[in-house]
Structure 1
Amino acid sequence: MSNRKVAIVTGGTRGMGQAVSVTLAKAGMDIIALYRSNELSAKETKRKMDEYGGNHKIIRADVTIKSDIDVVMEQVNKAYGRADVLVSNAGIFGFNFIEDMTEEYLDHILAVNFKSAFLMTKAVLPYMKKQKGGRIVYASSISSHYADCGLVGYGASKACIDMLTKIGAAELGPYNITVNAYAPGIIETDMTADMIHERGEDQVKQISLNKFGKGQDVANLVQFLVSPEGGYITGEIIGVDGGMLKVQNPYRAYEKAKDE
């Protein structure tokens, strides 16, 4: 088998995840990019990764389901026999006020944004412990730190990621496994397109650099964290937000109250 490092990227074929997958492929890793539904985007990601050589795969899987993850890891073991990097990028975003939120919605957003990261971590640990090293990087958000009306579900799911990052860094340190997270602000992706269209002029005023981020901005940080140069960084939640350190938007609550 190849000695190239192997990276698994969940949600790895669209937006920030696609940028991460392609950037790590360019850096010389073999990539397993996981996706749930958009086959067209997955094939485009595979094409872009293949431009840099290597043995890359795209695999359809629901990373909130352990049995799906087990199938993925069987393929990883058969094709590579190792897993050096996990980038748990899969996530969903949505506004829901507490009184409007259903139990099903809360379960779903926690499953996609947090449970998937937990399950994927458990899945790669046997490989990383055997190899005496590994890198894990999670997708957090500025919303894990800064409360935002309508985002209790999303914010809570990302706060869980922050705690997983810190505790994971301590528990996995003895095995030379680093655990970090990136906390994006507003990054231009399909997931944020509607929000930028509706409120972009107001939101950009809250960003120190006066512009929205790109998926490549996130990918650049991830590449550093999984590189040899990032080897002494662990337990960190690093903002990729252009200096967006305020936020909150309480006006949404007032707008809702006017209609009652």
Structure 2
Amino acid sequence: MEKKIAIVTGGTRGMGQAISIGLARENNIVFALYRSDEKSAQETLEKMRNYSLESDILQCDVSNRSSTERAVREIGDKYGRIDILVNNAGIFDFCFIEDITDEYFDRVFNINFKGQLHMIQACIPYMKKNHYGRIANASSISSTFADCGLIAYAASKAGIDMMTKTAAGELAPYGITVNAYAPGIIHTDMTDSMIVERGDVQVKQIALQRFGNGEDAAALVCFLTSPGAGYITGEIIGVDGGFFKVQNPYRAYEYVKEKEHAGE
């Protein structure tokens, strides 16, 4: 199969690193974009090149339009195409409504929403030229489930859901599919403090009774950006272990344990 050219924003840490490595394993040429963490970027590069020697890392600030345009142009002009875009970069931070400032709100939206918009706009010309494209945007369960302290974050992700659906319609004539993956609680350095603080309560509301990992999200993203997902577009797909899909899922585990104890 012809190698695809893939870009993963926020692609060198946590969930993004797992996605970059997963796409490299699928025989794609992957460019993992990062903002500042050189150590994790080099670590990601080494792991990607175990599967794809042409894969590379590139510094980029997705909140800055000129930075995204420069990065995309550098990749697109070198290969003449961009086939896959994974908009994974984002920030997660609690801030209650009484404490939200314009500066805080703008920072969240500039990275979480405008960053994805910038990347899509920059990649469209290359995808149009080849009449092929796979775009996967990072949404979140917070786009539909309210959580105290996450007004700005949740609003940015709700915006991603609508942008995903609208872009799916606008870009379909060019052979470009647009979908979103909506992680639940994926255990990374970004969510570590939250899990430490209230993880014992939250895990009880997850049907699979565990927190996710980067590979769980990467598996979904690798499928959505594969040639085999060509008839899927405009979808927001959860990767959350069944979080909030049913109330009190832990009761099922208690029931099964009782049955096993009784020898049934």
Spell out, residue by residue over 1:42-63, the C-alpha distance to the aligned partner (whole angstroms, 9 max, x if none). 0000000000133111111101
Give the aligned partner of residue 25 of structure 1: 24
Matched, 1:69 2:71: no
Amino acid corresponding to residue 104 of structure 1 in structure 2: E
Give the aligned partner of residue 169 of structure 1: 168
Unaligned runs of 5+ in 2: 247-264
CA distance in 2, matches of 1:94, 1:246: 24
Amino acid corresponding to residue 38 of structure 1 in structure 2: D
Please show how residues 178-217 of structure 1 align to structure 2 within 5 Å: 178-217=177-216
Which stretches of structure 1, 4 residues or longer, exceed 6 Å deviation after superposition?
none
Amino acid corresponding to residue 31 of structure 1 in structure 2: V
Given that 1:28 and 1:54 are in contact with CA atoms closer than 8 Å, whether structure 2 keeps it comes out as no
Deviates more, 1:61-70 or 1:75-84: 75-84
Please show how residues 144-163 of structure 1 align to structure 2 within 5 Å: 144-163=143-162
Given that 1:29 and 1:54 are in contact with CA atoms closer than 8 Å, whether structure 2 keeps it comes out as no
Determine helix, strand or coil for the equivalent of 2:205.
Answer: coil
Q: CA deviation at 1:71?
A: 1.6
Amino acid corresponding to residue 81 of structure 2 in structure 1: R
Q: CA deviation at 1:74?
A: 2.7
CA distance in 2, matches of 1:114, 1:177: 20
Give the aligned partner of residue 59 of structure 2: 60
Given that 2:69 and 2:119 are in contact with CA atoms closer than 8 Å, whether structure 1 keeps it comes out as no
Larger Rg: 2
CA distance in 2, matches of 1:150, 1:66: 28
Q: CA deviation at 1:246?
A: 6.1
Matched, 1:38 2:51: no
CA distance in 1, matches of 2:169, 2:237: 17
Amino acid corresponding to residue 68 of structure 2 in structure 1: I
Q: CA deviation at 1:245?
A: 2.0
Matched, 1:241 2:230: no
CA distance in 2, matches of 1:3, 1:23: 17
Q: CA deviation at 1:225?
A: 0.6
Give the aligned partner of residue 251 of structure 1: none
CA distance in 2, matches of 1:49, 1:37: 19
CA distance in 1, matches of 2:162, 2:52: 36
Deviates more, 1:49-58 or 1:32-41: 49-58
Determine helix, strand or coil for the equivalent of 1:62.
Answer: coil
CA distance in 2, matches of 1:198, 1:75: 42
Taking every aligned residue pair, what percent have the same amino acid on both sides? 59
> Measured at CA, do residues 243 and 199 of structure 1 come closer, stay the same or move farther in structure 2, by a change above 3 Å?
same
Amino acid corresponding to residue 75 of structure 1 in structure 2: E
Q: CA deviation at 1:94?
A: 0.7
CA distance in 1, matches of 2:245, 2:230: 30
Determine helix, strand or coil for the equivalent of 1:137.
Answer: strand
CA distance in 2, matches of 1:144, 1:245: 13
Give the aligned partner of residue 119 of structure 2: 120
Count, aligned residues: 246
Spell out, residue by residue over 1:137-189, the C-alpha distance to the aligned partner (whole angstroms, 9 max, x if none). 00000000011111100000000100010000100111110000000000010
Amino acid corresponding to residue 183 of structure 2 in structure 1: P
CA distance in 2, matches of 1:27, 1:138: 19
Q: CA deviation at 1:230?
A: 1.0
Q: TM-score, normalised by structure 1?
A: 0.92
Q: CA RMSD in A?
A: 1.3
Deviates more, 1:63-72 or 1:118-127: 63-72
CA distance in 1, matches of 2:118, 2:138: 14
Q: CA deviation at 1:3?
A: 4.6
CA distance in 1, matches of 2:171, 2:73: 23
Q: CA deviation at 1:133?
A: 1.1
Given that 1:146 and 1:246 are in contact with CA atoms closer than 8 Å, whether structure 2 keeps it comes out as no
